[in-house]
Amino acid sequence: MKVLFICCAGMSTSLLVEKVIKVAKERNVELDLAAMGEAEARSQLKDADVILLGPQVRYLERSMGKELAGTDVKLGVVDMLAYGRMDGAKVLDQILQLAQG
């Protein structure tokens, strides 16, 4: 499953991505997870299975939702509490839930 994590390219996001990847490996979930800024991500939106927006860029949800209309790409905003706690397990659960829904 290809997941794009869109953020402001901060260090905290890289740390969260590492934690999500670690939990995914522990659970035997195959993930191709990349974190990037909005400009870089725009060219790759339709190649992803799931797109997660960091809480700091949640304002992009509406415009990206319109851009992804008619595709199978799932879009969500990372739970703010999970982001703040760097809870890789909770974020992975959110990814899996979006992928199924």
Question: 33's torsion region: left (phi>0), alpha (psi -120 to 50) or beta?
Answer: beta
Q: Identify whether 8 is a catalytic site residue.
A: no
Q: Are 43 and 61 in contact (CB under 8 A)?
A: no
Q: Which tokens in the block code for residue 41?
A: 């991500």
Active-site option among 3, 6, 7, 33: 7
Residues assigned a catalytic role? 7
